[in-house]
Structure 1
C-alpha cells in the first residue's frame, strides 16, 4: 500500500476527540438539528432507535435506579428507627429491674420477641456468689475466649468457633454474635447475643446501640449482684 493510500485510510480525528468535543459543546446538536434526523443507535431489544429516544431511555433507567436507591434508603431508615425504639424501650425496662431474672426476662423479651434473636447468654466472671448455673462459666473455660475475641476492645461482632459456640450457646445453632464485656474494665461478665444469620453481626457494623446497652448493664448489674449476695 502506498503512502498516499495509507493517508487516505487514516481518520483525521478519532473517537476520543469527537467525544471530548461533544462534552465541551453540549449544544452542538441544537446548532445542527438536521444531524439528529440522520443519526441512529443500536438497541439490543429494539434495533435502531433515534438519538433522542436513546437519551430518553438512558434517563428513564437512571431515574429507575435512583428510585430503587431511595426505596432502599427509606427501608433502612425505617429499620433503624424501629431498632432505636426497641432499644430505648429496653433501657427503660432494665432501669426498673430488681433482680437478675428480671434483667434476663427484659433482654429476652426484646431480643427474642421483637428482634427475632432468641439466643442470649449473660455470664459473670469468677463470682463467689451462689448464682444459677445459667449465669456462670464452668471453671476457667471462658479465658481463652476473652484473650482471643477481645484483644481490640470490649465489643466483638462476628463469628465463633464451634467450641466457643458450645460454651455460650450449647443448645442453639448460631452463625454470628455480638459479645459485650460488662463492667468498667470488662471485669464483671459478658453478654452474648446470637443470630442464625452469618452476616447479621459483622466487625464493620456500627456499635452505638450495643455500647449503650453495655454501659447501662455495667451500671445496673453490680447493685443487683450485691443484693443477690445478701438475699
Structure 2
C-alpha cells in the first residue's frame, strides 16, 4: 500500500509540474507580446485589419461604456439623417419634374383657341407626361357653337348628378366610384380604368361649371389618401382658361 501511494504522489507531482510549465509558457508568451507592442506602438496602425478583428472585453463584463453607447447613438442618428436627406432630395427632384411638366401643360393650354383644343392638349400632355391613361372633360352647360357636343352635359343627366355628388366639396376627389358611369366618360378605355380623379372646374367657389376626370389603369394611381395639391393647381389653371370661352 505504501508503494502504491508513493507512485500516486509521484504521478500527481509530475502533472502539477507539467501544468506549471504550460502556465509559465503562456505567461512568457504574453509578456513577450506585451514587450513587443510596447516597443512598437505603431503596430496596430500598420495592421489595422488585425485591430478591427479583435474583440476587446471590458472590465464591466458584458456592459458597454458610456462613450461607446453615445458613439452608437450618434451613428444611428447619422444614418437616419442620411436616409432623410436622400428622401428629401428625391422629393425635390420629383417636385421639380412635376413643375416642369405643369409648365408645359400651361403653355399648351394658353395656345388653345377653343374648348376642343384644350381637350386635345390635356389628353396629350397628361397621358404622355403624368402617367394618366384616359381623360374626360365635361362642362355643365348647353353646347357652344362649333364645339363638340360630347364635352357638354345637362344638369339633369345621370352623369352630371353623379359628378355633382363628388364635386360638392369643391376639391379633387380620388378613388374608384362604382356609380360613376365610366363608359360615358372614357368610352372604349373604360374597361381598364381602376382609379379616377375628379377635379372640379369653377369660376368662383360657389359656381362649379364642369369637371376634369382623369382615369388610370393602376388602382393605386389615384387613391383617397394621396395629396391633391397638384390636382387643385391643374383645376385652377384649366378653370381660368375655359371660363374665357363662356364670356
Alpha-carbon spacing, 1:165–1:57, altered in 2? closer, same or farther (3 Å): farther
Q: Is the aligned partner of 1:63 residue 2:53?
A: no
Q: Is the aligned partner of 1:141 residue 2:158?
A: yes
3-state SS of the aligned residue for 1:183?
A: strand
Rounded to whole Å, the distance in 2 between the matches of 1:149 and 1:41 is: 63
Q: Is the aligned partner of 1:98 residue 2:113?
A: yes
Shift of 1:192: 1.0
Q: 1:156·1:203 contact (CA, 8 Å) conserved in 2?
A: no
Shift of 1:54: 5.1
Write out aligned runs for 1:111-126 (5 A): 111-126=126-141
User: Which has the larger helix fraction?
Assistant: 2
Shift of 1:202: 4.4
Query: What is the RMSD of the two structures over their aligned residues, measured on CA atoms?
Result: 3.0
Shift of 1:111: 1.0
Rounded to whole Å, the distance in 2 between the matches of 1:122 and 1:64 is: 47
Q: Is the aligned partner of 1:37 residue 2:37?
A: no
Rounded to whole Å, the distance in 2 between the matches of 1:140 and 1:174 is: 22
Unaligned runs of 5+ in 1: 1-35, 43-48, 227-231
When structure 1 is superposed on structure 2, of 158-167 and 130-139 the one drifting more is 130-139
Shift of 1:107: 1.2
Rounded to whole Å, the distance in 2 between the matches of 1:73 and 1:84 is: 16
Q: Is the aligned partner of 1:217 residue 2:238?
A: yes
3-state SS of the aligned residue for 1:89?
A: helix
**2:201: which partner in 1?**
182
Query: Deviation string for 1:206-229 (max 9, x for gaps)?
Result: 444333332332232244467xxx
**2:214: which partner in 1?**
193
**2:52: which partner in 1?**
none
Q: TM-score, length-normalised on structure 1? A: 0.65
Higher alpha-carbon Rg: 2
3-state SS of the aligned residue for 1:169?
A: helix
Query: Deviation string for 1:42-71 (max 9, x for gaps)?
Result: 8xxxxxx76655554443333222211211
Rounded to whole Å, the distance in 1 between the matches of 2:242 and 2:93 is: 32
Q: Which has the higher contact order (CA 8 A, sep 6+)?
A: 1
Alpha-carbon spacing, 1:73–1:141, altered in 2? closer, same or farther (3 Å): same
Q: 1:157·1:178 contact (CA, 8 Å) conserved in 2?
A: yes
Q: Is the aligned partner of 1:108 residue 2:123?
A: yes
Q: 2:163·2:180 contact (CA, 8 Å) conserved in 1?
A: no
Alpha-carbon spacing, 1:63–1:136, altered in 2? closer, same or farther (3 Å): same
